[in-house]
Amino acid sequence: METRTLGTNGLAVSKIGFGCMGLSFGYNQTSPVTHADAVALLRAAVEAGVTFFDTAEVYGPWTNERLLGEALAPFKGKVVIATKFGFALDPAKSPPMTGMNSRPEQIRKVAEESCQRLGVEALDLFYQHRVDPAVPIEDVAGTVGDLIREGKVRHFGLSEASAATIRRAHAVQPVAALQSEYSLWTRDVEAEILPTCNELGIGFVPFSPLGKGFLTGTIEKGKTFGAGDIRAGIVRFQGDAYDNNLALVRLLESIGQDKGATPGQIALAWLMAQGPSIVPIPGTTRLHRMEENTAAAAIALSPADLARIEQAAAAIEVQGDRYPPALMAAVDKG
C-alpha cells in the first residue's frame, strides 16, 4: 500500500489506517469479537499493507491497548501505533469516562502506562483525546514536548480541537496530526480546521470515515443496536433523519457502480482525494470488511467524479447531530 506523511517531521504511515476502538469499545459489545479473532484480524491488516493503528487508553478501558500490544508485537519497528490521553476514567461506570484530565502529571502517567500495555519503549503518536478546558493547551503541548525530548513519545497529536486551539498548541510543540470526525456526512472541519492543518503542515486523520457504518449502505432503517453501541443514541440513524441521509448512500452507490466499488470504498476514496496528508482510519471486526476498506487505497476518483459527488452532496442536508448531546458538548469550540 502507498504511504502518506503526517506532519512535517516525517511520520510515514499507510494510506489507510485501522481504527481499533470497535474491537473492544463503543460499538456492539453484546456479541463482541473474540480475542483470538481480533488478534488475527490485526495481523491480517498488517499483511494487507496497513502500518497505522489507532487506539486509546479509554477503549475498554485499557484492554484495547493490551490487544494491540499482543497482536502487533511481531511487527515492532514496522508499524505506527497512535494512542491517546485526556479522559478521567472510572472502569466501574459505563461508559467509563467521568470527565477530562489533561494535567501534566496525568499525561506522564498515561504515557508510561500506555507504553507498558503496548509493549513499546516510546509512543509513536500521542494524541490529546479531547481538549480539557481546565488545562491550558500550552501546558499540554509543553508536557508532550518534554516527553518527546525524553524519548518517551515521538509525535504529538490533537483530537477534535478547534483551529484556535491547534494554533496555540502548535506554537509550543509542533503537532504532527489532528484527528477529528470527517466524512461525506460530517464536513464541519472543511471551514477552518483543514485549512489550518494545511497551512501549518499538520496531517489529518479522519475517524468514523464511513459515518459509523452508515455510508456503507449496510445499516437498515430501524436497526436495533446492541449494548454499548454509541449509535443507539445518534439521531442520524433514526426515523426521518435516516430516510433523508440515505441519499448520501445512494450517491455513493451510483459512483461505485461505475467504478466496480462498494459505497464504503467510494466514501474512503473521496476522503483521500481531499488532500495528500489525509489518512482515514476505518474500523471493523470482520476480515472481509478490512480487506474491502484497504482495497479502497487503490481507487482513483477523477476530477469529474469528484465534481459529480460535490454537486450531488451539496443538495443533501444531513439531518441530526453526529453524536449524542453529552459527547457533542465535549467538542472543543476554541
As annotated, the active-site residues are 59
What is the Cα–Cα distance from 244 to 124, expressed in whole angstroms? 41
- Residue bearing cell 499538520: 202
What is the Cα–Cα distance from 70 to 79, expressed in whole angstroms? 13
What is the Cα–Cα distance from 9 to 176, expressed in whole angstroms? 7
Amino acid (1-letter code) at residue 153? V
Helix (H) or strand (E) holding 312: helix 303-314
What is the Cα–Cα distance from 164 to 145, expressed in whole angstroms? 19
E strands, 168-232, in order: 175-181, 203-207
What is the Cα–Cα distance from 56 to 283, expressed in whole angstroms? 14
Backbone angles phi, psi at 167, to 5 degrees: -65, -45
Helix (H, G, I), strand (E, B) or coil at 314: helix
Residue 26 region by backbone torsions, left for phi larger than 0, else alpha for psi between -120 and 50, else beta = left
Residue 275: how many CA atoms within 13 Å on its side-chain side?
A: 22
Q: With beta carbons less than 8 A apart as the criterion, state whether 299 and 266 touch.
A: yes
C-alpha cell at position 213: 457504518
